């Protein structure tokens, strides 16, 4: 397991900006995430200070190049879990683990909700968004995981490991994950009474379930917040003026904290977080 002073989860402007300050401050810094997000997908950026008119992808890549030049390391991969271990944190992509004394959440805004009938009706009544948080209550029961990517595979593996009988529902998509039974049919709806009772597939078949864990797309800062016990306000991570969360050593910056969803704010948040992380590590 490779150890760092600070790991920024995300590769966007908040993460890269913070990495500039932590790297210059002498902290061994890692950025880890995927080439995705609002900035990367933006076709044209014309309102960022002194950048002129450029593509979001170009601005994204220039930000990472600058962080590398200052000494930060960049790893491309999807983070599926963050765990607090008392004095430090473990950050887990799909195939490797890293450890750090401080972590910055900068994965952007929360992921969108799948459009599945019954999802809202059974939210908190069998529908869960965090296997680590709620899986304990469904041990030895039949549960589903909704998704088709690495995050869904990770949640399915975790639930199987604690004794749940897991089925992965991909809602019509292909998946390379084969660790548990997979149902690739389209989902018609979730059904039940006061609580979730199962999934009805497009062909009419009903699959009994006690719970459905939604793991669509990639894990967001809100998902990680639930894993670690970070306070949130809706889907936004709650931070103070220093970008600190309620968990010592864990910071958040950029779109995941709400407010103005602009590159300028993300860069500002990242700078504040980077400076404060350096102070935190030096005091520690």
Question: What's the pLDDT tens digit per position in 239-270?
Answer: 999 999 999 999 999 999 988 888 999 999 99
Residue 111: pLDDT band with limits 50, 70, 90 = low
Please write the tens of the pLDDT for every residue from 32-88. Answer: 998 877 788 777 788 888 888 888 899 999 999 999 999 999 999 989 899 998 889
Is there a contact between 48 and 266 (Cβ–Cβ < 8 Å)? Answer: no
Residue 248 tokens, joined: 């010592």
The span from the CA of 51 to the CA of 210, in Å, is 52
The span from the CA of 125 to the CA of 196, in Å, is 6
The CA-atom distances, in angstroms, between 57 and each of 12, 39, 42, 102, 168 are 10, 7, 7, 28, 33
The structural domains of the chain, ordered by start, are 2-111+219-283 (3.50.50.60), 127-214 (3.50.50.60)
Q: What average pLDDT does the chain have?
A: 91
Residues with Cβ within 8 Å of residue 245, at least 6 apart in sequence: 105, 225, 230, 231, 237, 238, 239, 251, 252
Residue 232 tokens, joined: 């949130």
Is there a contact between 128 and 211 (Cβ–Cβ < 8 Å)? Answer: yes
Question: Taking Cα atoms as reference points, which of 19, 219, 4, 209 lies closest to residue 116?
Answer: 209
pLDDT at 212 > cutoff 90: yes
The span from the CA of 6 to the CA of 123, in Å, is 35
Is there a contact between 19 and 273 (Cβ–Cβ < 8 Å)? Answer: no
The span from the CA of 111 to the CA of 225, in Å, is 13
DSSP code, position 8? E
Is there a contact between 254 and 274 (Cβ–Cβ < 8 Å)? Answer: no
Q: 212 pairs with which residues across the strands?
A: 127, 144
């Amino acid at each position: 397991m490779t150890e760092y002073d600070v790991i920024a989860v995300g590769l966007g402007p908040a993460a890269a900006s913070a990495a500039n300050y932590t790297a210059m401050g002498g902290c061994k810094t890692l950025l880890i995430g995927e080439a995705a997000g609002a900035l990367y997908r933006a076709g044209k950026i014309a309102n960022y200070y002194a950048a002129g008119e450029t593509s979001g992808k170009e601005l994204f890549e220039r930000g990472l190049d600058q962080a590398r030049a200052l000494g930060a390391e960049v790893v491309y991969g999807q983070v599926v879990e963050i765990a607090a271990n008392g004095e430090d944190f473990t950050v887990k992509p799909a195939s490797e683990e890293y450890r750090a004394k401080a972590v910055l959440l900068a994965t952007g805004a929360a992921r969108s909700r799948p459009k599945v009938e019954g999802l809202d009706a059974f939210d908190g009544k069998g529908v869960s968004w965090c296997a680590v948080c709620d899986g304990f209550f469904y041990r030895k029961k039949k549960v589903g995981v909704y998704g088709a990517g690495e995050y869904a595979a990770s949640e399915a593996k975790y639930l199987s490991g604690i004794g749940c009988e897991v089925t992965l529902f991909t809602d019509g998509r292909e998946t390379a994950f084969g660790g548990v039974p997979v149902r690739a049919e389209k989902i018609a709806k979730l059904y039940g009474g006061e609580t979730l009772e199962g999934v009805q597939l497009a062909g009419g078949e009903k699959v009994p379930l006690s719970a459905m864990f939604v793991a669509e797309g990639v894990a967001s800062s809100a998902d990680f917040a639930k894993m670690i016990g970070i306070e949130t306000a809706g889907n936004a991570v709650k931070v103070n003026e220093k970008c600190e969360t309620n968990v010592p050593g864990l910071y958040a910056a950029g779109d995941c904290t709400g407010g103005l969803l602009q590159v300028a704010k993300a860069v500002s948040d990242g700078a504040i977080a980077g400076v404060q992380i350096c102070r935190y590590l030096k005091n520690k």
